[in-house]
Amino acid sequence: MKPAQASLWASAQMQGMHGTDGIWYASYAPGVAHEIDPARYRSLVHFFDESVQRYRAQTAFTSLGADLSFDALDRKAHAFASYLQEIGVQHGDRVALMMPNTLAYPVAMFGALIAGAIVVNMNPLYTVRELAHQLKDCGAQTIVVFDLFGKTLQDALPGSRVKQVIVTSLGDLLADGLNVKGRALDLYMRHVRKQVPDFALPEAVSLRQAIARGAKRKLEPVRVGHGDIAFIQYTGGTTGVPKGAMLTHRNIIANVLQALEWSRARLIDGEEIVVTPLPLYHIYSLTMNALVFLGIGARNVLIVNPRDIDALLRTLRDVPFTAISALNTLYAALLDKDEFRQRDFSSLKLAMAGGMATQRAIAERFEAVTGTAILEGYGLSECSPLVCASTLHAARDESFEGSIGLPVPSTLVRLRRDDGAWADIGEPGELCVQGPQVMKGYWNRPAETALAIDAQGWFATGDIGTMDARGFIRIVDRKKNMMIVSGFNVYPTEIEDVLSAHPKVRAVAAVGVPDPVTGERVKAYVVPRDATLSVEELLAFARLHLTGYKVPAFVEFRDSLPLTSIGKVMRRGLRAPDDKETKP
């Protein structure tokens, strides 16, 4: 950042904006530092070690009723790191993790980082084709896999470089010693529930064996620094084949410190309990939950399967949680449950949303039920992920207004029009980001890295946003999802926001369908909350709130919408060639 730019940025006030050469510097709320110092920690290992020293006796993670203290996490992670060294894992080698939110995840993740390895998160719900591509692309030679997905891994191994497989299970690490509860749970899952398919990984060892072996040998210290890659985080692939974002230790440290600075006004060190239903293999949950809350000594309640809402509610029945991170679909599902609506929310301080746009109707319902506003954030895998967040200090009428808030400390943004010029206040443009959290680049894809990050370090997000005179940013939509109807730009989130506010609508997604006259027309896929909802009623409601060309030309009622593993609507899964369209 040039000195003149830094001066402009640091002098910004809550009431206004300052800019030069088309670069706008958002203001920050009182009490939030304008900058953070990533040099505070040498690496994520340093961050981990300091957190353990401060909170050693406290609970770090809870899963299935079992607690893992900071001390136990430290011992097991170092033992796992030692085992990785025993099997030949060296500095910079890739270690893949393919598991849901169990105690095994933080142990394996921190262990790999301590060993100097690069963690590659794998979605456990990947198909064989998807897993095979990612294993081949990252070149991982070691993988830790949850036993439910052993058969998928078995079928994906041919053509990969994987030499060592470590298998973990639901009952792992629920207790030290004999772990009778854990072993009984594993037997139940395999032989009663029959949820573990047969697989053949003859050279595999169990995570318990790996930790036991590692505990018997001396760990050789590995020097890890800011420039080393900590994670290869694969993008969702909405613009093509999934690409691995190289996130350095500095990238992640910066984003953790940015989030901590933003939220410090509400959180108290050593006293928080955060619910983590979103999978830790997702960058949002990884940074915001696993790392940020670890840094303040919070107890992290891991939810293995967030789609099982009844089980989730049973887990939380006696947990006075103070924070929760989720996304729109999960908040909506929780609000539909009497048990959730009727619980005591007096301890709740912070409700965070990310991963997709939060619909106004859901946010308003959540605040009415809990008394706490959802703070929406915006981020990308390429940015570790946090770029912007709702201010904690806003007046009540600003607590939720569809904005993703302001850039987090040490982060600059600008909006670029299609013609390459910089957008003005209120004008849509592609959101570009500059900051210490921006990735090093895409793994083994220098050409695509050059397209995404320019010579000045500005990362082009592919998301279209607007900025108001106060500096608050709204994401209108992704470029790819934008529809053009008779020459007008139409953004799906606006349509979804309106239709979801109808009391008889449970969920909605809007896409564009080809039209020989208008180019595209809007189609809405709707999951009714009430069977009496008709197309005519819904469209009449839409016409009250949308300009004519934005009103859906087609409506289709469905029992459900296709979702990704973290609950985001898969738009491409809605564009089936045999769709039966109901015209107004």
Are 95 and 112 spatial neighbours (Cβ–Cβ below 8 Å)? Answer: yes
Query: Which of the listed CATH numbers 3.40.50.12780, 3.60.130.10, 2.60.260.20, 3.40.50.300 matches domain 3-40+249-478?
Result: 3.40.50.12780
Cα-Cα end-to-end distance for the chain:
54
Q: Where does the chain hold its CATH 3.40.50.12780 domain(s)?
A: 3-40+249-478
The pLDDT assigned to 402 comes to 61
CA distance 90 to 440: 21
Half-sphere exposure of 571 (CA within 13 A, CB side): 22
- Band (236; pLDDT cuts 50, 70, 90): low
Both structure tokens of 416: 């670029």
Nearest Cα residue to 253 out of 479, 447, 40, 53: 40
Mean pLDDT highest for which of 171-175, 471-475, 542-546?
542-546
Tell me: pLDDT of 13 over 60. Answer: no
The pLDDT assigned to 438 comes to 98
Are 569 and 561 spatial neighbours (Cβ–Cβ below 8 Å)? Answer: yes
CA distance 580 to 554: 10
What is the pLDDT of the chain when averaged over all its residues?
87
Mean pLDDT of 150-173: 94
The pLDDT assigned to 448 comes to 92
pLDDT single digits (tens) 96-110: 999 999 999 999 999
Q: Where does the chain hold its CATH 3.30.300.30 domain(s)?
A: 483-573
pLDDT single digits (tens) 245-268: 999 999 999 999 999 998 888 899
- Band (191; pLDDT cuts 50, 70, 90): low
Strand-by-strand arrangement of the 23-25 sheet: 18-20, 23-25, 412-416, 429-434, 459-467, 473-478
The pLDDT assigned to 241 comes to 67
410-to-191, 261, 367 alpha-carbon distances in Å: 53, 11, 30
Tell me: pLDDT of 23 over 80. Answer: no
Please name the residue that has the structure tokens 């993790």.
Answer: 97
The pLDDT assigned to 340 comes to 98
Strand partners, 407: 388
Query: Which of the listed CATH numbers 3.30.379.10, 3.40.50.980, 3.90.105.10, 3.30.70.120 matches domain 70-234?
Result: 3.40.50.980
Give the residue with greater pLDDT, 3 vs 397.
397
Q: Where does the chain hold its CATH 3.40.50.980 domain(s)?
A: 70-234
- Among 69-78, 111-120, 459-468, name the one with the lowest average pLDDT: 459-468
Per DSSP, 291 falls in state I
pLDDT single digits (tens) 420-453: 888 888 899 999 999 999 999 999 999 999 999 9
ω into 385 cis (within 30 of 0): yes
Task: With H, G, I as helix, E, B as strand and everything else as coil, classify residue 510.
Answer: strand
CA distance 233 to 437: 13
- Band (9; pLDDT cuts 50, 70, 90): very low
Which helix (H) or strand (E) is 164 found in, with range? strand 164-168
- Among 178-187, 193-202, 279-288, 359-368, name the one with the lowest average pLDDT: 178-187
The pLDDT assigned to 327 comes to 86
- In DSSP notation, 311-365 reads HHHHHHTT---SEEEE-HHHHHHHHT-HHHHTS--TT--EEEE-SSPPPHHHHHH
Tell me: pLDDT of 168 over 90. Answer: yes
Q: Please name the residues in contact with 69: beta carbons below 8 A apart, sequence gap of 6 or more.
A: 56, 57, 58, 59, 60
- Band (28; pLDDT cuts 50, 70, 90): low
CA distance 298 to 532: 46
Burial class (CB in 10 A: 0-12, 13-18, 19+), 487: exposed
Q: Please name the residues in contact with 166: beta carbons below 8 A apart, sequence gap of 6 or more.
A: 108, 142, 143, 144, 145, 204, 205, 206, 207, 210
The pLDDT assigned to 111 comes to 98
The pLDDT assigned to 361 comes to 86
Per-residue HEC secondary structure of 97-145 comes to: EECCCCCHHHHHHHHHHHCCCEEEECCCCCCHHHHHHHHHHHCCCEEEE
The pLDDT assigned to 579 comes to 43
Number of H helices, E strands in the chain: 17, 28
- Region label for 106, one of left (φ > 0), alpha (ψ between -120 and 50) or beta (otherwise): alpha
Strand-by-strand arrangement of the 505-515 sheet: 505-515, 519-528, 554-557
pLDDT single digits (tens) 52-65: 999 999 999 999 98
CATH code that applies to domain 483-573? 3.30.300.30
The pLDDT assigned to 328 comes to 85
